Amino acid sequence: MTTPLDQWRAQARAAQETDRQVRRLYDVAYRTAAIGHILTNPRATAVDIAYATTRIPCGLAAAARLLTRPGVAEHLETPYARSFLATAERALTAPSTQLLKAANAARAAAAASANNDDLQYVLFSDIEDRCRYLVDAASSRTGWARHDHADSKAVLDLAARWGLSAETYIPRQADDGQPPIPAHIAQEVARRAEIRTRCAAGIRCTRTACLAYGAVATQDSTGQGPFLCTSCIPAANAERTARGFAPTLQAVPGGVPADARFSVTLYNGSGPGRQTVTCPTPQEAQFTAETVRPFNNTGYTIHVTTTP
């Protein structure tokens, strides 16, 4: 025979189990919402997006199973968990997710075109910048405004016309015809073409009085030296003599080794930060130095390394 005490104990155990399941639901919802913040980060990479878009549906599915447990859906704390789940679900379907996917696809397509197609490089870099700008602007406000949706549609339509989807890049066929090129893109392409033409002669002389292209690697008694024009080496030695150093600068005997690589160090001229890019030819090294700008005030140095 069931006594009132037994009934009370059974109800207490049921309430404890319900509380335990609600805590599990809250933990799942909180972690899922935290993952959803990845989809509002304008600097999110393709790996980040893949992780978030995989884990959020798993979290939503786990929460849905917990909500079917007895007493969980009716619990007083459940609405808080539901609000976290709704936040994660909105992040998964928000325009920012498609923009970030397009931005990462554009970055990959631009990197593949950096050395052989200025138009595609500039266009896809611009698409990436616009996508990330829209995500950043929208994340600083509450929700997406009407003009945000219009701008998002415009940049995704531009990407689609050039064969770029939210997932991959499909090169256009030659007989498909070329879509119209925005004016600012055409200007940047022309600027890069001009720089590429200048850099065809080779690395630029480091003497500020010269700055001509086609400099050669030099070395002094320590085995180190800047890139200088052959006509600037005597002047550089004269400057060294005036400062009390031995005038030992000369062109590297035999020239740069055939297996040498050219390392371009890009540094922040007004703060911390630097990065290094390795190039196979002096032309590509100089072009990289003049076109890659990771900082607002970017400076560069080029040196030769024999490491392939």
Of 194, 218, 189, the closest CA to residue 206 belongs to 218
In sequence order, what are the beta bridge partners of 251? 218
First to last CA, the chain: 86
Report the phi/psi class of residue 74: left, alpha or beta, with left for phi > 0 and alpha for psi in -120 to 50.
Answer: alpha
State residue 223's pLDDT score. 80
Distance separating alpha carbons of residues 40 and 50, to the nearest angstrom: 14
Question: Mean pLDDT per 10-residue run, the chain (308 residues)?
Answer: 62 72 89 93 92 94 90 84 91 89 91 84 92 86 76 89 73 64 90 92 89 88 86 89 86 82 90 89 92 86 76
Residue type, 197: T
Q: How far is CA 75 from CA 7, 23, 70, 80, 214, in A?
A: 21, 11, 10, 10, 76
